Chain A
Amino acid sequence: MLEVKEITCVFGGLIALDKVSFAIRQGEITGVIGPNGAGKTTLFNIVSGIYSRTSGQILFNGRDISGLPPDQLARLGLVRTFQNIELFGQMTVLENVMVGLHTKSHCGILACALKLPWHLAEEKRIRSRALELLDYVGIAELAEQSAASLPFGKGRLLEIARALALEPQIMLMDEPAAGLNSRETWELGELIRKIRDLGVTVVLVEHDMELVMDVCDAIVVLNLGQKLAEGTPRQIQDNSAVIAAYLGEG
Chain B
Amino acid sequence: MQRELLKFALFAALVLVAAPLYFQGGYILNVLVFVGINTMLAIGLNLLLGFAGQISLGQAAFYGLGAYISAILTTTHGFNPWLAMIFAALAVGALAFVIGFPILKLKGHYLAMATLGFGIIVYIVINEYVDLTGGPSGFPGIPNLSIGSISFDSDMKNYYLIWVATLGVMLLAINLTRSRIGRALRAIHDSEVAAQVLGINARLLKVQIFACSAMISSLAGSLYAHYITFVSPSTFGFHFSVELLTMVVIGGLGSIYGSFLGAALITLLPEFLRAFHDYDIIFYGALLMIMTIFLPGGLIQGGTLVWNYLRNTLGGKGGADA
Contact = CB atoms under 8 A, between A and B. Distances in A.
Interface residues of A, number: 39
Contacts of A82: 194
Contact of B198 (A102, A107, A122): A102
Band of interface residues on B: 20 to 34
Given A86-B191, A88-B191, A102 B197 contact: no
A75 B199 contact: yes
A104 to B, nearest CB: 9
A113 interface: yes
B175 A88 contact: no
Contact of A123 (B180, B194, B198, B254): B180
A112 B175 contact: yes
Contacts of B194: 82, 86-88
A79 B198 contact: yes
A194 interface: no
Contact of B190 (A69, A90, A102, A105): A90
A76 to B, nearest CB: 9
Interface in A69-92: 69-71, 74-75, 79-80, 82, 86-91
Given A69-B196, A109-B208, A89 B179 contact: no
B176 interface: yes
A146 B2 CA distance: 20
Given A70-B193, A105-B180, A162 B172 contact: no
Interface stretch (B181-189, B259-267, B306-314): B181-189
B146 interface: no
B198 A114 contact: no
Contacts of B197: 48, 50, 70-71, 74, 79-80, 86
A99 to B, nearest CB: 5
Contact of B199 (A91, A102, A126): A102
A75 B204 CA distance: 15
Given A71-B200, A74-B196, A112 B190 contact: no
A165 to B, nearest CB: 8
A49 to B, nearest CB: 8
Contact of A113 (B176, B193, B199, B202): B176
Nearest to B208: A109
A123 B200 contact: no
Contact of B184 (A50, A70, A90, A99): A99
21 contacts: A48-B197, A71-B197, A74-B199, A80-B197, A86-B197, A88-B190, A88-B194, A90-B254, A99-B195, A101-B180, A107-B180, A109-B208, A109-B209, A109-B212, A112-B176, A113-B176, A114-B175, A123-B179, A162-B198, A163-B198, A166-B199
Given A98-B183, A107-B180, 15 more contacts: A70-B196, A79-B199, A82-B194, A88-B187, A88-B190, A88-B191, A88-B194, A95-B183, A103-B199, A107-B181, A112-B179, A112-B182, A123-B179, A163-B198, A166-B198
